[in-house]
Amino acid sequence: MAITKRATILITFAAFGAVVGSHVGALPFLIANSEVSPFVFGVAGALAMVANILAMGLGGFLNHHTDHRSVMLLIVPILALLLGFALLSNSVAIFVLSFLLLNFGLGVLDLFMNAEASIVEHDLGRPVFSSFHGTAILFIAGFAIVSSIVSAVLAPWFMVLLAGAALMLAWGAIYTSIPHQPVEHDEGKARSVALPRRVLTFIGIATGLNVATELAAIQWAGQLLLTVAPELAAISGLGVAFYGLCGGTMRLIGDNLRNRFGDFMVLLVCLFFAIGGFVVLGLSPGFWPSVIAFAAVGAGLSLTFPCLFALAARLVPEARASAMGYVATVGGAPRIILPWVLGILAAQYSLGAVFTTCAFVAVAALAIIVLTFREAQALAHAK
């Protein structure tokens, strides 16, 4: 029985999550083995975001010259090699370099699998975008906890075997079910389409702020767990796993919420929960308040990215990857700056300062999302 395109995209998102989870779950061990300070970790995170944004910007350019299938078939095996390099880190230089290269590769796959996901949603005629992201974050959660255990018992590099298997499964599914679509060299439709840059700029800024806070929650989850429950230090991936469980579950039901209440109302309610969660975490409470607050953050931030990327794709159906690449590039500044700022705050003050800053960033994202949907509505009426 032939595999469907929707199933292929689900498998690809799962493989993406496996790579991220394998790396994030091993981060505390890699940081210790490589003797990376909190400040250097913040700088590495900033550089990694630069690499990720450059990859997505490059992807928008590649969209004019090659098809989604060709790019994904190329980048999937490369990601397996980059993950292996990252999990073998034993010095500051290798840690930073591998962090940068891995995020570049993830950025390329992220862009093109999202572009294909938007096509699937369009073809089906109903919201399914969120379920793809839910699959990814649940695999991040699962692989993070497995990675932390494997890293403690064996060594981080063993995870490349498991994540590599997921990547190869995705490669086979892409090769089998996604047809090759040659790009015409004349002035075709995708080349001549004019991007609605004003509204895409708002989407980009809002997305950048949201992604920055979500990545901060994931990357500092291990340190939060060590602070509120040091007896669980050997299983530091539990923090990421719990975050992924909350966010992934929310994303799996998110398409039903989007269909019933609309993207705008869903985003407003979810971000209020996320902001409240960050505020509580910023107060450095005990274990159980932190658990509840972290759940609110994970669930609250979960639908922003799929809703906004789906909106960008709907605005420019003729060139989805180009629109998403533009959105990712515009949203680059907060994704680059925030990890660096959080590293400084953690070194100079405390972990509470990290999450308090994230609360302010989430408030800014909420305000810009309101502007984004107003602009999108005005653009739709103009057409």
**What are the residue ranges of helices labelled H in 262-319?**
263-282, 287-301, 304-315
275 has pLDDT over 90: yes
pLDDT: is 290 or 98 the higher one? 98
Residues 6+ apart with CB under 8 A from 103: 48, 49, 51, 52, 55
Which stretches within 154-196 are classed as H helix?
159-177, 189-192
Distance in Å from the first CA to the final CA of the chain: 42
Q: Tally the C-alpha atoms within 13 A of residue 17's C-alpha that lie toward its C-beta.
A: 27
**Residue in the block written with tokens 């609110």:** 296
- CA 370 from centre of chain: 22
Are residues 104 and 52 in contact, defined by beta-carbon separation less than 8 angstroms?
yes
Average pLDDT over residues 355-377: 89
CA separation for the pair 306, 314 (Å, rounded) = 12
Please give the helix or strand (H or E) that residue 188 lies within, else none.
none
5-177+196-382 homologous superfamily:
MFS general substrate transporter like domains (1.20.1250.20)
Rounded mean pLDDT of the chain?
81
pLDDT at 190: 44
**Residue range 229-239: mean pLDDT, rounded:** 59
51-60, 251-260, 301-310, range with the lowest pLDDT: 51-60
pLDDT confidence of residue 243: 77
Rounded to 10°, the helix 237-261/5-34 angle is 150
* Residues above pLDDT 90, as percent of the chain: 17
pLDDT of residue 360: 92
Which amino acid is residue 334, in one-letter code? P
The amino acid sitting at 226 is L
User: What pLDDT band is residue 191 in, cutting at 50, 70 and 90?
Assistant: very low
> Could you tell me the pLDDT band of residue 240, with boundaries at 50, 70 and 90?
low
Residue with tokens 């995708």: 190
CA 129 to chain centre: 14
Residue 35 φ/ψ region, left for φ over 0, alpha for ψ in the -120 to 50 degree band, beta for the rest:
left
User: For 128-164, what is each residue's pLDDT tens digit?
Assistant: 778 888 888 888 878 888 888 888 888 888 888 999 9
Please state whether the predicted TM-score (pTM) of the whole model is above 0.85.
no
Q: How far apart are CA 371 and CA 364, in angstroms?
A: 11
CA torsion sign for 155, 49, 8, 141 is: positive
**pLDDT level of residue 188 (50, 70, 90 thresholds):** very low
In the predicted structure, residue 184 carries a pLDDT above the cut 70:
no
